[in-house]
Structure 1
Amino acid sequence: MPGTTTTGNRRRNEERTAMVQLEIENQRPRRWNPLFKWRKYLKIFGSVFLIILACGAVAYASTAAIWYFFEEHLVTPDNSTTSRPKASSRTVTRATRRPTTTVSRHSLTSIEPIEESSPYHPIQERPGPFRIVGFYDSWSKYEIRGRQLQKLTHVIFSALDMNSAGTLSFHDYGIRKKFIDLVEMSKRVNPSLKIMFSIAEYAYASNFEAVVADPEKKKTLCNSIASLIQTHRIDGVDLFWKWPTKVENRDLFVLLLRDIRQKLNSISDSDHQYILSVVLPNFDWPDFKLSLDLNGIMEQVDFINVRTINYYGFWNSQWGAYTGPPSPLYSGLGAYGDSNVNWTITHYMNETGAPGKLNMGVPFFGAHWENVEGPIGVKEEMWFTAKAKTGEETFEGEYIPWREMEGWNLSAAKWHQESRCPFIWLPDERKFLGFENQRSLKEKMKYALEKSLGGITIWSVEMDDDSDTLLNSVQV
């Protein structure tokens, strides 16, 4: 039927037209919406900003926590967790007085070497090359040699006499000739060597007390020092007062050094700056702290020869007579716990903060005991007790120069790790020898360099053998 056909065609045409319009609509590009795009970018930026902010907060909190920990728990030289001491501190961390209680022989054991704690000080640079100072004992039967002078930076002739008026003199013609020979040989073989002389006065025969208390006698001494330096064209003077023990001498000694320093400055010029040094004790007795103004002395001198030797010797005491090395680097025995180089040097560094002005003493000799009893402990090898002669307070023993140890079998010596020294113990003969050798001196040199000390001082150079075995061991 025609009507039905026309209606069907119209419907199909309408459907076809709708489909075509849909396809056209799908192919038409969409309209750009700028507001939508900015929202998208802001959302991304905000997310990134929040992430960065969160990371920054975490990093700041972590850094603050770490800094707080190390600021509050800074590790000091003695490995304890304390706050940093102030640079001006002069606290000595260990008492200088020996214990006065009696220590049981069976309770004594060797003390492990420990690093002494010390207050913080700004490190002072060494005022020049490492010093190798050699004392030359004018009373020795041995002569100093030119080859030895070539290996020193300073040589100190020991010693001139000083009378109660403050006048210096040579003890006799032989001593004077030794001094003149030393000066001539030094200038010939080592022109850069500093030549000095020592004024040595001991407590049992000292004129220092009379001189320091009298202005006129001090003036005489200063003039006598200047005259001798200028006459022989040498470089300086060393004072060895063993030891001022009276409190009233504390300031007088510093004033004496001040007057000598002023006199040396008055004769100095651009070519010659004269040297003033002193020998000071190992401070293991409390009297020294009362009678010696360490910092006052330090202000006047160019360097201090610290006598870190003779810790153990042939004398009795309330603690007994113990064998041992003349100069243990570490360790000690019972009441002698302070009797070692490390304790002494640490005390000087604590008090002064000037390691560059300190020379550590080293011995070119050993300590020999006879009539030695057994060791004080089953496991101990170094510390023995010496027995006095019957009915006497003296002990059979002596200090032996290195060059006179030929009678000992040095190759059989044992090494004592705690004290860093060798020793020989002959139980059948009841003999003991504590001494220095190449190994122990190299340990001391290593210590001196690590502590930034100014140098070492040898007591005394002529004790070495003809091959300079010990002197070669202390070369930088």
Structure 2
Amino acid sequence: MKTLSNHLLLLVQTALFLYVASVAGCHHPEHQHTTTTTTPALQPTTTAAPAETTTTAPEPSTPATSKSDNRLIAYIADWALPEKIAWDKLDQVIYSFAVPDESGNLGEFDADQLKSIVKEGHDNGKSVSLSVGGWTGSLYFSSLVGSESSRAKFAKNIANAVDEFDLDAINLDWEYPNSANGVACNQNDPQDTANYLKFVQQLRDTLPKGTLINAAVATAPFNDENQQPSTTLDPEWKGALDGFYIMGYDVNGNWNEDAGPNAPLYYDGQSDGIDTVSADSAVKAWSAAGIPSDQLYLGVPFYGRIAQVTDKVTARTGMYQPIQKNQIKGDEYDEKSADPCPGAKSTFSGMYQWRSIEQQGISTNSSGWETSWDTASQTPFAYKGNRVLSFDDPHSLREKVKYAKANGLGGVMLWSLEMDDADNTLLNALQGIRKD
């Protein structure tokens, strides 16, 4: 997620998804594109925003050093740090992004700012990770892991960053191995997934003992040599990575024919114009490919996506309406931007952060908006005229926590912390994942 400046990072996504061909997954946010089957749409029922419950967990006296200690993980963005981090409500923070150049040198982040975050995290007894890559930072991953010498050099550069910044973990965010679903000018190779495994193993041998390695991954397992999701992964992956952070958001957006849920927990044949992917299907796909459930983490968004559709939306029609293809502006933080590839066009992302949703009273039927609950996806949506906004609220996040616990997942990951409101409403809704 870069030859593009960091503060524009999240804003490039909509244009990029027009290149999507088959599978992926995001953070930061990309998705998997598949063919759907036509079935009748389910009708949502109107619901008021649920009351919030705050739960906190005791702080450890030292940074977490095992994957079992890291159940709730939050990404923070170099270009948009939260005013205050509620360390007592988190287990790990991932600072994003360190962008590798063609030689594997890491850059495009504020080193002093990262040092400050690490100190603050350690003072609060929490672990801090650095994310390497991202949506526009994945251009050179393929060649960087493509040979023994380049893997060794890249791993050494990351290990140097761990030493320099006193990091507890490394987050790899390659979007995506041997895939047409990333940035259009990403390097790709049929051996990407095999080489990625070799690199992670090399990195494991190079990093200080006890350093965790996790990866942000798509909603389908890494692609095989034919750019198709692997049905079975090499068993070595289980020992190579400590956690697989499934980006269960950006599933639907302006790249589809119809409006649909940004981060569905389930899919139930709502429309033939949206993606069939859901958090549930993603977890099942990774599990079937051989990854233990306790190494899978469900990624949830602190933002939604807005679309303009052809007809007026009501609670009766639901959100699954044909989209007018010009992406409209999201909230005040949404600015036009382009990806780092030649000829790329600037566009709005259509993202609507929770803090804006809350501030404008959208989830409580204010400012002319009406909010309904989509039973099929287990997420809310709001509508105003022919605009529809799919997002997550405390209710939907608690449902995802219940799902993660019921299915024995390692925890929950969120993108990204500054998008919450000043009362930590969404973060509070996730606290259940930290309790046995």
What is the TM-score of this pair, normalised by structure 1?
0.65
Q: How large is the Cα RMSD of the aligned pairs?
A: 3.1
1:423 aligns with 2:381: yes
Gap regions ≥5 residues in structure 2: 1-31, 45-65, 179-188, 328-344, 366-370
Instruction: Give the structure, 1 or 2, with the largest relative contact order (CA under 8 Å, sep 6 or more).
Output: 2
Contact 1:338/1:344, CA 8 A, preserved across alignment? no
Change (3 A) 1:296 1:443: same
Match of 1:438 in 2: 394
Match of 1:256 in 2: 199
Query: Which letter maps to 1:260?
Result: L
1:409 aligns with 2:362: yes
Alignment of 1:49-448 (within 5 A): 98-99=34-35, 108-110=40-42, 128-129=68-69, 131-140=71-80, 142-143=81-82, 145-146=84-85, 148-169=86-107, 171=108, 175-188=110-123, 190-191=124-125, 193-202=126-135, 206-245=139-178, 246-264=189-207, 267-268=208-209, 273-283=210-220, 287-290=227-230, 293=233, 295-316=235-256, 320=257, 322-331=258-267, 332-334=270-272, 336=274, 338-352=276-290, 354-374=292-312, 380-389=317-326, 398-405=350-357, 406-412=359-365, 413-427=371-385, 430-448=386-404
Please state whether the residue corresponding to 1:385 is helix, strand or coil: coil
Which is helix-richer, 1 or 2? 1
Change (3 A) 1:394 1:212: closer
Contact 1:244/1:292, CA 8 A, preserved across alignment? no
Query: Which letter maps to 2:259?
Result: T
Change (3 A) 1:111 1:223: farther
- Cα distance in 1 for partners of 2:196, 2:77 equals 24
Change (3 A) 1:295 1:395: farther
How far did 1:335 drift?
Answer: 5.8
The count of aligned residue pairs is 342
- Cα distance in 2 for partners of 1:383, 1:98 equals 17
Offset from partner CA, 1:245-304 (integer Å, 9 cap, x none): 24221211111111001112xx32xxxx11001111012997351599464433301111
Query: Which letter maps to 1:179?
Result: L
Offset from partner CA, 1:123-174 (integer Å, 9 cap, x none): xxx962461011111122x42523x2221111110110211111223x15xx
Query: Which letter maps to 1:154?
Result: Q
What is the TM-score of this pair, normalised by structure 2?
0.71
Please state whether the residue corresponding to 1:128 is helix, strand or coil: helix
Query: Which letter maps to 1:298?
Result: K
Among candidates 438, 444, 449, match of residue 405 of structure 2: 449
Offset from partner CA, 1:12-48 (integer Å, 9 cap, x none): xxxxxxxxxxxxxxxxxxxxxxxxxxxxxxxxxxxxx
Change (3 A) 1:450 1:230: same
Query: Which letter maps to 2:213?
Result: L
Please state whether the residue corresponding to 1:367 is helix, strand or coil: strand
Gap regions ≥5 residues in structure 1: 1-95, 113-125
Answer with 1 or 2: which has the greater Rg.
1
Contact 1:368/1:432, CA 8 A, preserved across alignment? yes
Alignment of 1:30-45 (within 5 A): none
Contact 1:364/1:436, CA 8 A, preserved across alignment? yes
